[in-house]
Amino acid sequence: MRSSCVLLAALVALAAYYVYTPVPSSVSEPWKLMLLNAVFHGAQQVSDLIHYLGLGHHLLALNFIIISVDKKSALSSARVKVTDTDFDGVEVRVFEGLPKPEEPLKRSVVYIHGGGWALASAKMRHYDELCTAMAEELNAVIVSIDYRLVPKVYFPEQIHDVVRATKHFLQPEVLQKYMVDPGRICISGDSAGGNLAAALGQQLIQDVNLRNKVKLQALIYPILQALDFNTPSYQQNANMPILSRYVMVKYWVDYFKGNYDFVQAMIVNNHTSLDVEEATALRARLNWTSLLPASITKNYTAAVSSSTAE
Ligand SMILES: *[C@@H]1O[C@H](CO)[C@@H](O)[C@H](O)[C@H]1NC(C)=O
Ligand SMILES: *[C@@H]1O[C@H](CO)[C@@H](O)[C@H](O)[C@H]1NC(C)=O
Ligand SMILES: *[C@@H]1O[C@H](CO)[C@@H](O)[C@H](O)[C@H]1NC(C)=O
How many angstroms separate the alpha carbon of residue 306 from the centre of ligand 1? 7
Q: Whose CA is nearest to atom 14 of ligand 1?
A: 265
Give the pLDDT score at 154.
Answer: 98
| CA angle (37 as vertex; 20, 69 as ends), nearest 5 | 135
What single letter denotes the amino acid at residue 52? Y
Q: Whose CA is nearest to atom 4 of ligand 1?
A: 307
Q: Whose CA is nearest to atom 12 of ligand 1?
A: 265
Q: Which ligand is nearest to the CA of 238?
A: 3
Per-residue pLDDT of the chain (310 residues; tens, 9 = 90+): 678 888 888 888 888 877 888 888 888 999 999 999 999 999 999 999 999 999 999 999 999 999 988 888 888 888 999 999 999 999 999 999 998 888 899 999 999 999 999 999 999 999 999 999 999 999 999 999 999 999 999 999 999 999 999 999 999 999 999 999 999 999 999 999 999 999 999 999 999 888 778 999 999 999 999 989 999 999 999 999 999 999 999 999 999 999 999 999 999 998 887 677 777 787 778 889 999 999 999 889 887 654 444 3
Residues contacting ligand 2 via CB (< 6 Å) = 287, 289-290, 302
Evaluate: CB of 265 within 6 angstroms of ligand 1: yes
Choose which residue among 280, 289, 306, 308 to substitute to test ligand 2 binding: the one with the highest number of ligand atoms within 8 A of its C-beta: 289
pLDDT digit string, tens, across residues 43-93: 999 999 999 999 999 999 999 999 988 888 888 888 999 999 999 999 999
* Overall size of the chain counted in residues: 310
Domain 80-220 has CATH 1.10.730.10: no
List 106's β-bridge partners, or say none. 180
Q: Which ligand is nearest to the CA of 235?
A: 3
Give the pLDDT score at 305.
Answer: 53
Q: Is 273 helix (H, G, I), strand (E, B) or coil?
A: coil
Residue 306 DSSP class: -
List 213's β-bridge partners, or say none. none
Evaluate: CB of 309 within 6 angstroms of ligand 1: no
Q: Whose CA is nearest to atom 3 of ligand 3?
A: 299
Evaluate: CB of 295 within 6 angstroms of ligand 3: no
Q: Are 168 and 87 contacting, i.e. CB atoms less than 8 angstroms apart?
A: yes
Evaluate: CB of 299 within 6 angstroms of ligand 3: yes
Q: Are 161 and 128 contacting, i.e. CB atoms less than 8 angstroms apart?
A: no
Q: Which of 113, 108, 117, 116 is nearest to 129 (CA)?
A: 113
Q: Is the previous residue joined to 156 through a cis bond, with omega within 30 degrees of 0?
A: yes
How many angstroms separate the alpha carbon of residue 295 from the centre of ligand 3? 12
pLDDT digit string, tens, across residues 232-262: 999 999 999 999 999 999 999 999 999 999 9
What would the DSSP string read from start to end of 51-100?
HHTTSS-HHHHHHHHHHHHHB------SSEEEEEEEETTEEEEEEEEPPB
Q: Which ligand is nearest to the CA of 293?
A: 2
pTM of the predicted model, to two decimals? Answer: 0.90
Q: Are 159 and 128 contacting, i.e. CB atoms less than 8 angstroms apart?
A: no
| All structural domains of the chain with their residue ranges | 2-69, 80-220, 237-297
Evaluate: CB of 26 within 6 angstroms of ligand 3: no
Give the pLDDT score at 129.
Answer: 96
Q: Whose CA is nearest to atom 4 of ligand 3?
A: 299
Distances (CA, A) of 121 to 17, 78, 97, 149, 261: 32, 24, 21, 9, 29
Q: Which residues are catalytic?
A: 191
Determine the Cα–Cα distance for residues 97 and 95; give it in Å rounded to an integer.
Answer: 7
